[in-house]
Amino acid sequence: AQKITQTQPGMFVQEKEAVTLDCTYDTSDQSYGLFWYKQPSSGEMIFLIYQGSYDEQNATEGRYSLNFQKARKSANLVISASQLGDSAMYFCAMRVYNTDKLIFGTGTRLQVFP
């Protein structure tokens, strides 16, 4: 069965520091995609970054990077130089093979303090 696991219900980080949010996944498929979303307290889901299973390079988008370790089935999100506005829920998700459906993890609440 396909599954996403986020083991950190909450994380704290000081402003300007880097933080890693963990995500492990379980699938027997060879072709899959991994996504990270940010959800501020206002509720909207904001897409951050995507990693395809065949991508050889780790994805990066500005201050966000994805530490993709295929053999370990992990896709951790790294946020560099944290800002107060990064305080939010973060969800890892996996696309179900040959469909457009996503499976989500339970999320990690990140709080950035001054």
Closest CA relative to residue 97, chosen from 28, 1, 31, 24:
31
Q: Could you say which of 25, 65, 68, 105 contacts other proteins (CB under 8 A)?
A: 105
Strands 10-14 and 108-113 come out as parallel
User: Per this entry, what is the length of the chain?
Assistant: 114
Q: What does the per-residue mask of binding to other proteins show for 64-93, with x meaning CB under 8 A?
A: ---------------------------x-x
Residue among 37 and 82 whose Cβ is closer to other proteins: 37
Residues 6-65 that bind other proteins (CB under 8 A): 6, 9, 33, 35, 37, 42-45, 47, 50, 52
What is the torsion angle, in degrees rounded to the nearest 10, for the CA atoms of residue 78, residue 35, residue 30 and residue 67? -10
- The minimum distance between CB 85 and other proteins, in angstroms, equals 18
Measured CA distances, 43 to 30, 39, 75, 76 (Å)? 33, 6, 24, 22
Candidates 21-29, 60-68, 79-87, 94-102: pick the segment binding other proteins (CB under 8 A): 94-102
CB 86 within 8 A of CB 78: no
Interacting residues with other proteins (CB under 8 A): 4, 6, 9, 33, 35, 37, 42-45, 47, 50, 52, 91, 93, 95, 100-102, 104-107
